Structure 1
Amino acid sequence: MPNPDCLLRALDHLGTSASSTVLIGSTVAELTAAGTIGVPFVGYARSQKHEQHLRRAGCEHTVTYLQSVFETLSRD
């Protein structure tokens, strides 16, 4: 299992909690590390094959373009 230590240090440095953040990543290791500490995860899938790989690993949410994430966040 990937060590979530770098995520924990980032949260500590930012002074925030796991539940108030989101990790956008493209690997199963990132998905697993985020899940270990309760950080919501959005998979960045560069292809349909990559999206299927992330979904098989348990990723519930994926995007194919980061621009769509930025547009969604800017609306809030």
Structure 2
Amino acid sequence: MFRVYSGPQGSRLGPLDKRRHLFKSFATLDEAIGWAHRVSRDGRSALLIEGDDGTQLDKRDLAKALRHRSGEHAARI
């Protein structure tokens, strides 16, 4: 299971803040990254993807993954 934590643009997610932020759960990392992309397109910020398997993608990692995903999508069109 993967959780995508999100918040308003410019917000941060500290270690004690997770319980105050919204998150949505997904079965796969690909679905979680897809949701993070949608959140970003809607003007919010994906702050963290955290998986039960120990996976953690912070804002910086997510930005790289979303740029990569956008590049792949543009190449398919």
Normalized against structure 1, the TM-score is what? 0.30
Larger radius of gyration: 1
Q: Which has the higher strand share?
A: 2
Q: Which has the higher helix share?
A: 1
Normalized against structure 2, the TM-score is what? 0.30
